[in-house]
Amino acid sequence: MHLSPSPSMQMTDYHSRRLGLSFASVGARLGWVFLGKELVYEFGRTREEDSIRQLVTNALPDWTRTMAFLAPESLHSFQEEGREMEAFVVRLPEGEVPVFVILLLEKGLSLFPRVWEDLSNQVLTFCATGISLREKNLLDFETITEPIRKRMGKAFQGDTKSGVIAFFHLQDLSPFFKPMGVIKSQEILREVTATLHKETRENEFNFQMNPRSYFLFCPGETLDGANHRFGSLYFPSKHLILDYKLKIFPIDSEILADDAKFSSIFLENF
């Protein structure tokens, strides 16, 4: 049986197979999970995949605005291997990040509300766990470092010739993500970003490299000044105070122009 989690979710075989069993247990020939517009999980095969995918792509904006939670809607009917098949879409109960499940069943097979609820719980656990495991997959290394290098270079074109980069590596949040669900998991990450925004001055900028690694570029700042500013910084989130490791690196035009030196700073903390 075909199982394919999105590379961005970095799922273990255990989580992937467990979700696959959930789809198989309800008699699904095909099961897809969309987190927002991203197809993050595929179970099963059908010759109508392209047609179903096109229908989903066209309808997602309307579904996001109007579709009720846990109210399956028929999407597409066709014959396959001498059997009448019907594809359904159901929106799961997550309000801020839309989560949709596409399910292909033999026509006439109806699922009780309790079954949809159980399947919903399995899918949302998958999504919450996947968010916690994305780690280094938000953007690849070169994609983020080249624009950063150019922006830092502009900061050193005037009177300012040096500064620091402060890296914040948060504790592993995955134990909280799974029980808290998709929405509250993302709320934690937004609160971390909000804390850094408050600390960022007008001529500085911060960037999230993955769910645990953030950095703040401070042109004109010294190592002593940065240690004083960030040594007592804390990240409150709901009832938690998040632990983190802080590393501060000096940077100037010479380091910025040296590929090896510049890359080594980010590779170590990516």
Can you give the residue ranges of every domain in the chain?
Answer: 3-132, 136-269
Q: For the structural domain made of 3-132, what CATH number should be given?
A: 3.30.450
**What is the predicted pLDDT for the residue at 59?**
94
**What is the predicted pLDDT for the residue at 139?**
40
Q: Do domains 3-132 and 136-269 have the same CATH topology?
A: no
Higher pLDDT, 253 or 148: 253
**What is the predicted pLDDT for the residue at 138?**
38
Q: Which of 105, 95, 185, 134 is nearest to 5 (CA)?
A: 134
Mean pLDDT, the chain, integer: 81
**What is the predicted pLDDT for the residue at 238?**
65
**What is the predicted pLDDT for the residue at 73?**
92
- CA 34, 37, 38, 44 torsion: positive or negative? positive
**What is the predicted pLDDT for the residue at 78?**
93
pLDDT tens-digit readout, 150-206: 889 989 988 899 999 999 988 877 676 666 666 666 677 778 888 888 899 988 988
- CA 39, 45, 50, 56 torsion: positive or negative? negative
Mean pLDDT of 204-222: 85
CATH architecture of the domain formed by 136-269: 2-Layer Sandwich (3.30)
pTM greater than the 0.75 cutoff = no
Query: pLDDT class for 130, splitting at 50, 70, 90?
Result: low
